[in-house]
Structure 1
């Protein structure tokens, strides 16, 4: 048995990673301070005209601006693994945050879970000399949680209340052209006003009155992203319905392909829950990733902090993790 131990020395605020230790997998190492800086910069950057590196084709806002995140819980699985439901549907649910995106005003409703992971934005991975995981595979976006675990049409991106329409997508030659797809345009819905009309006319499921049907926007439609941001601003306030939803293709993978592209694990603390609960989960995620030969720091995600400090690193949050295989 080969045993590898990565010690994080909490007493002096120093960890092996901060001191410049090589990344376990051999991927280009990014110190924790640099991770925080890059994530906060990407979160703060408002760019609605992203261009694909190498081709200059238009891409969705996620390509160069804001951050793609996933919420998860601890369990007898790896946090980045696709669930059986996701594999059968062909897609996984993520969400996107950026400093100008309206979020609920009540404690803990900004994100779907209390902990999870954030992926590197394509532009950051390119800058770091890596192959960007989100260069391909992002399918569609919904302004709010679309409860896609119950939607099987077109990999979770189909309209829940009616048939899935097949129609030509906006002409594109970018590298994600075989994945990006949305239903709104095919329903004649091209503006935020038209989307709002659909939302307001849908009475919802009597069992789930807050979960109205939504049509999705093509993930590489810049106007679709603009509409999503506009819609959330219109419906902001105490009754705002949670986070947005971004569907990403599983690409016939268990989720293992995500491991080298996890920038950090995040956790949030809420006033009505044990403050250690979410941090403990993040520490377990970190240990599980480390057991696979990869490392990512744990960061606190705080929506009450100044926008430029949305993520923060604390040495005492990191774990001391003996691992073996």
Structure 2
């Protein structure tokens, strides 16, 4: 729904006035093919990472995740081989949501969830090829929400120890990054569980984009603390077993160090995805080099030697 609304709204606005922050050539320029070359994907990711947008198309009903930033999920192959890394786990099917992180130049982090070293990256909805499904973004925690401790059967809900403070932010009286930070900084307790999550669902309309942007600002306000931990964005569980229409942009691995497992895992996932699709789809492996400070720059690089499946 975001994709349709965004297109119509942008067409209307563009016909009436000049948008100096987001040009027609800048947003939606990537979605002209179902399979992109690895070099092109890396360039797109660097562009998306650098877009520090408050929203898309200057519209408060279009959150910035639709057209900017990098939404990624760390993965580990299921030992029982019951589900693919790009599909929801049984735990996520039960809870109704899947955890991702959102990386952008103004919301850097130097460490992925659980210290893992590989995973996959989603297309932003406005940049996705036309044959990919739209995923539903539900809520955004500026830091790891420890959501597995909150509930096993639902997402974006409060923790029992903080029934008021840890609910959806607007219900807790929190609408700005500064208000969120004040709750995080309360002495004692567990700030990850105490924090509220910003509601970014489609039906919030003109409140969705400001809520998401405040979640990004809140992480930035934490400085080194924010950089040393990842944020958490919950996306509604999707139907598994449909790889051809799933909006996966790239597999990635963290570059640097001597551990070869992250690349090997990414290579396994690339081959597994290729073999699972019909017609076949090659999803490139991208090297992610994280920023080394809150104000540093992360980079995305395509290296031909990393690929085990080629077009």
Q: Same fold (TM over 0.5)?
A: yes
Is 2:255 aligned against 1:269? Answer: yes
Specify the alignment match of 1:200 in structure 2: 185
Structure 1 distance, partners of 2:250, 2:72, is 10
Is 2:293 aligned against 1:314? Answer: no
1:130 deviates by 3.8
Structure 2 distance, partners of 1:247, 1:217, is 10
Specify the alignment match of 2:148 in structure 1: 149
Contiguous gaps of at least 5 residues in structure 2:
1-32, 202-207
Is 2:128 aligned against 1:122? Answer: no
Specify the alignment match of 2:200 in structure 1: 219
* Alignment check: 8 A CA contact 2:109 2:229 kept: yes
Provide closer, same or farther for how the CA distance between residues 73 and 153 of structure 1 changes in structure 2, counting only shifts above 3 A.
Answer: closer
Contiguous gaps of at least 5 residues in structure 1:
1-26, 166-181
Structure 1 distance, partners of 2:53, 2:153, is 28
* Alignment check: 8 A CA contact 1:117 1:266 kept: yes
Is 2:65 aligned against 1:62? Answer: yes
User: In angstroms, what is the RMSD of aligned CA positions?
Assistant: 2.9
Provide closer, same or farther for how the CA distance between residues 241 and 312 of structure 1 changes in structure 2, counting only shifts above 3 A.
Answer: closer
Aligned residues: 261
1:68 deviates by 1.0
* Higher relative contact order (Cα pairs below 8 Å, separated by 6+ residues): 1
Of residues 239, 249, 255, the one that matches 2:236 is 249
Structure 2 distance, partners of 1:74, 1:46, is 33
Structure 2 distance, partners of 1:314, 1:61, is 29
Alignment deviations for residues 14-70 of structure 1 (CA, whole Å, 9 cap, x no partner): xxxxxxxxxxxxx72211111111121111112212149xxx672211011112111
* Alignment check: 8 A CA contact 1:145 1:241 kept: no
SS of residue matched to 1:275: coil
* Alignment check: 8 A CA contact 1:35 1:263 kept: yes
Structure 2 distance, partners of 1:203, 1:154, is 28
Provide closer, same or farther for how the CA distance between residues 304 and 198 of structure 1 changes in structure 2, counting only shifts above 3 A.
Answer: closer
1:154 deviates by 8.2
Structure 2 distance, partners of 1:211, 1:156, is 15
Provide closer, same or farther for how the CA distance between residues 48 and 237 of structure 1 changes in structure 2, counting only shifts above 3 A.
Answer: same
1:129 deviates by 3.6
Q: 1:1-325 maps to which residues of 2 (within 5 A)? A: 28-51=34-57, 58-75=61-78, 76=81, 77-104=83-110, 109-112=111-114, 113-125=116-128, 128-134=129-135, 137-152=136-151, 155-160=154-159, 161-163=161-163, 183-201=168-186, 203-205=188-190, 211-219=192-200, 221-237=208-224, 240-251=227-238, 253-254=239-240, 256=242, 260-271=246-257, 274-293=258-277, 294-304=281-291, 310-319=299-308
* Alignment check: 8 A CA contact 2:50 2:105 kept: yes
Moved over 6 A (4+): 305-309
Structure 2 distance, partners of 1:184, 1:286, is 38
* Alignment check: 8 A CA contact 1:103 1:236 kept: no
SS of residue matched to 1:34: helix
Structure 1 distance, partners of 2:76, 2:152, is 26
